[in-house]
Amino acid sequence: MAHFDQAPAERETVNEDEAKRRARLGLVLFAIYFALYAGFMLINVFVPALLEITPFAGVNLAILYGFGLIVAALLLALVYAWLCRRPGGGQP
Protein backbone atom coordinates (compact mmCIF):
# COMPACT_ATOMS: atom_id res chain seq x y z
CA MET A 1 0.00 0.00 0.00
CA ALA A 2 1.27 3.49 -0.91
CA HIS A 3 2.24 5.88 1.83
CA PHE A 4 1.22 9.50 1.30
CA ASP A 5 2.96 12.37 2.99
CA GLN A 6 0.40 14.48 4.84
CA ALA A 7 2.77 17.35 5.59
CA PRO A 8 1.96 20.77 4.14
CA ALA A 9 3.59 21.56 0.83
CA GLU A 10 6.61 23.81 0.83
CA ARG A 11 5.85 27.45 0.08
CA GLU A 12 6.90 28.60 -3.37
CA THR A 13 8.88 31.79 -3.51
CA VAL A 14 7.44 34.35 -5.87
CA ASN A 15 9.79 36.66 -7.70
CA GLU A 16 7.74 39.88 -7.92
CA ASP A 17 9.87 41.34 -10.72
CA GLU A 18 9.46 38.19 -12.78
CA ALA A 19 5.70 38.16 -12.18
CA LYS A 20 5.44 41.80 -13.30
CA ARG A 21 7.52 41.09 -16.41
CA ARG A 22 5.27 38.18 -17.35
CA ALA A 23 2.16 40.27 -16.78
CA ARG A 24 3.51 43.04 -19.04
CA LEU A 25 4.45 40.49 -21.67
CA GLY A 26 0.96 38.98 -21.52
CA LEU A 27 -0.62 42.40 -21.96
CA VAL A 28 1.57 43.22 -24.96
CA LEU A 29 0.70 39.93 -26.66
CA PHE A 30 -2.97 40.42 -25.81
CA ALA A 31 -2.85 43.89 -27.40
CA ILE A 32 -1.40 42.36 -30.58
CA TYR A 33 -4.18 39.77 -30.76
CA PHE A 34 -6.80 42.38 -29.91
CA ALA A 35 -5.62 44.54 -32.83
CA LEU A 36 -5.88 41.55 -35.20
CA TYR A 37 -9.37 40.69 -33.95
CA ALA A 38 -10.50 44.33 -33.99
CA GLY A 39 -9.38 44.53 -37.61
CA PHE A 40 -11.52 41.51 -38.44
CA MET A 41 -14.53 43.02 -36.69
CA LEU A 42 -14.06 46.45 -38.29
CA ILE A 43 -13.91 44.90 -41.74
CA ASN A 44 -17.10 42.96 -40.95
CA VAL A 45 -18.90 46.12 -39.85
CA PHE A 46 -17.69 48.67 -42.37
CA VAL A 47 -16.57 46.74 -45.49
CA PRO A 48 -18.28 43.32 -45.38
CA ALA A 49 -18.00 42.86 -49.15
CA LEU A 50 -14.21 42.67 -48.73
CA LEU A 51 -14.58 39.38 -46.88
CA GLU A 52 -16.39 37.82 -49.86
CA ILE A 53 -13.24 37.96 -51.99
CA THR A 54 -11.80 34.50 -52.72
CA PRO A 55 -8.02 35.02 -52.92
CA PHE A 56 -6.96 31.40 -52.47
CA ALA A 57 -8.40 28.11 -53.73
CA GLY A 58 -11.98 29.40 -53.74
CA VAL A 59 -11.93 30.08 -50.00
CA ASN A 60 -13.22 33.51 -49.04
CA LEU A 61 -11.27 36.02 -47.02
CA ALA A 62 -13.58 35.67 -44.01
CA ILE A 63 -12.62 32.01 -43.61
CA LEU A 64 -8.93 32.70 -44.21
CA TYR A 65 -8.91 35.58 -41.73
CA GLY A 66 -10.75 33.45 -39.16
CA PHE A 67 -8.25 30.63 -39.46
CA GLY A 68 -5.48 33.22 -39.33
CA LEU A 69 -6.84 34.45 -36.01
CA ILE A 70 -6.77 30.91 -34.63
CA VAL A 71 -3.19 30.37 -35.82
CA ALA A 72 -2.16 33.78 -34.44
CA ALA A 73 -3.59 32.89 -31.03
CA LEU A 74 -1.64 29.64 -30.96
CA LEU A 75 1.58 31.34 -32.09
CA LEU A 76 1.23 34.11 -29.52
CA ALA A 77 0.68 31.51 -26.80
CA LEU A 78 3.85 29.69 -27.88
CA VAL A 79 5.81 32.96 -27.95
CA TYR A 80 4.55 33.79 -24.45
CA ALA A 81 5.52 30.37 -23.10
CA TRP A 82 8.95 30.56 -24.76
CA LEU A 83 9.68 34.07 -23.46
CA CYS A 84 8.53 33.15 -19.95
CA ARG A 85 10.94 30.21 -19.82
CA ARG A 86 13.94 32.34 -20.81
CA PRO A 87 15.71 34.07 -17.95
CA GLY A 88 14.90 37.76 -18.40
CA GLY A 89 13.10 36.74 -21.59
CA GLY A 90 12.27 39.53 -23.96
CA GLN A 91 14.51 42.02 -22.18
CA PRO A 92 17.87 43.21 -23.56
As for how many domains the chain has, the answer is: 1
For residue 92, being part of any structural domain is answered with no
For residue 50, being part of any structural domain is answered with yes
List the beta bridge partners of residue 59: 56
Q: Which pLDDT band holds residue 88 (cuts at 50, 70, 90)?
A: low
For residue 9, being part of any structural domain is answered with no
φ/ψ region of 5 (left if φ > 0, alpha if ψ in -120 to 50, else beta) reads beta
Answer whether 73's CB lies under 8 Å from 15's CB: no
**What is the average pLDDT across 5-29?**
87
For residue 41, being part of any structural domain is answered with yes
Instruction: Specify the pTM.
Output: 0.76
Q: Distance of CA 65 to CAs 6, 22, 57, Å?
A: 52, 28, 14
Residue 9 has pLDDT above 80, yes or no: no
For residue 5, being part of any structural domain is answered with no
Range of the domain at 56: 17-85
For residue 90, being part of any structural domain is answered with no
For residue 10, being part of any structural domain is answered with no
